[in-house]
């Protein structure tokens, strides 16, 4: 409508030129009003769009609010359940604390009685399983207990140097009761190398182990008779050394025989001995050294004695001897 008014005024202006200034002013104002009106329309449209967007957001927020209300209700219900469970747990905890205190009191009394009984049994010479003994709480003379291992693989405690009063045959002496050669024989190869750098000493330990441990396999010892429990000849020892140390020359092996014999004599505290025996071979007479273990040798944990086998004293070309391992006690020396 404003556009038609403007056009009419323009036509009127053309017809009445004397009123042109006034009419031009009116036309300009109308044009300005029309532009303002267009802007207002656009603004109204924008506002309507904004209102629609806000209404949509409001709807989304109301949905979110409903969800939050539902979650809040669930959380409130869960909180109530948890509070109830906490109250129940606290009650149970108080009851368990009371039971624990009572059990601790009974256990303490029982432990004290057990330790007293263990102390009395140890004083009588008992050997008690190490896993059952609190060595720091046992009240024994001098407060000293000795730990030892038996051939069942278990560790035991006893008073120092107390033999098992039941005389069970599966008792292994404590490490400190063994001869040095027995201590070395119990070690594996790596531990022996750590303990000593001397090859003759390691060979002596292995030689002793071969006599007492059938699992070693390569055993040069022979069963003796009468006053000799077991022996190994120097020649057999030489061949044995060369098998233990591949690449060893015969000359050096002979030197190692003497050094190994010296080492085993020293480490056994001279429980073993060296005998010389004259014999004939291929019509020739020669003297050979023997490393012997006498039947009366005091070897901790072993029972030495002559076997039923006898050693031939004939002067034949070869000496016939039974190469069976010597009899030992149940405990390996």
Q: 325: helix, coil or strand?
A: coil
Residue 218 phi, psi dihedral angles, 5° rounding? -90, 95
Find the range with the poorest average confidence among 126-135, 196-205, 259-268. Answer: 126-135
Cα torsion angle, 126, 129, 132, 137, sign: positive
Higher pLDDT, 122 or 250: 250
* Residue 161 banded pLDDT, cuts 50, 70, 90: low
- Quick check: 18 pLDDT over 60? no
Give tens-digit pLDDT for 39-79. 999 999 999 999 999 999 999 999 999 999 999 999 999 99
Residue 127: band (very low, low, confident or very high) from pLDDT cuts 50, 70, 90: confident
Answer whether residue 84 shows pLDDT above 80: yes
Distance CA 166, CA 177 (A): 19
pLDDT confidence band for 191 (50 / 70 / 90): confident
Tokens 């291992």 identify what position? 149
- The region of weakest confidence among 122-131, 153-162, 264-273, 313-322 is 313-322
Residue 153, phi-psi category: left (phi > 0), alpha (psi -120 to 50), beta (remainder): left
pLDDT above 50 (res 296): yes
């Amino acid at each position: 409508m404003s556009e038609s008014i403007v056009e009419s005024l323009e036509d009127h202006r053309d017809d009445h030129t004397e009123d042109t200034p006034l009419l031009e002013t009116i036309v300009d104002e109308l044009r300005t009003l029309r532009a303002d009106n267009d802007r207002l329309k656009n603004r109204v449209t924008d506002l309507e769009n904004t209102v629609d967007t806000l209404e949509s957001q409001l709807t989304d927020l109301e949905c979110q609010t409903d969800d939050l209300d539902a979650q809040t209700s669930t959380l409130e219900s869960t909180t109530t359940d948890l509070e109830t469970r906490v109250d129940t747990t606290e009650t149970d905890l108080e009851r368990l604390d009371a039971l624990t205190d009572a059990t601790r009191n009974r256990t303490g009394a029982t432990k004290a009685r057990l330790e007293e009984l263990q102390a009395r049994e140890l004083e009588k010479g008992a050997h008690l399983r190490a896993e059952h003994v609190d060595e720091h709480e046992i009240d024994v003379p001098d407060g000293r207990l000795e730990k030892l291992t038996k051939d069942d693989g278990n560790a035991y405690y006893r008073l120092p140097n107390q033999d098992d009063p039941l005389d069970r045959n599966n008792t292994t002496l404590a490490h400190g009761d063994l001869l040095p050669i027995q201590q070395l024989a119990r070690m594996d190869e790596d531990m022996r190398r750590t303990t000593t750098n001397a090859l003759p000493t390691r060979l002596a330990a292995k030689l002793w182990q071969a006599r007492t441990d059938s699992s070693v396999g390569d055993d040069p010892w022979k069963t003796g008779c009468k006053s000799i429990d077991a022996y190994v000849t120097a020649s057999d020892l030489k061949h044995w050394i060369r098998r233990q140390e591949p690449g060893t020359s015969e000359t050096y092996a002979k030197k190692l025989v003497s050094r190994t014999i010296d080492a085993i004599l020293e480490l056994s505290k001279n429980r073993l001995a060296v005998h010389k025996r004259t014999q004939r071979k291929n019509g020739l007479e020669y003297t050979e050294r023997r490393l012997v273990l006498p039947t009366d040798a005091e070897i901790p944990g072993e029972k030495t004695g002559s076997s039923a086998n006898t050693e031939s004293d004939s002067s034949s070309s070869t000496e016939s001897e039974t190469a069976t391992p010597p009899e030992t006690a149940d405990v390996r020396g």
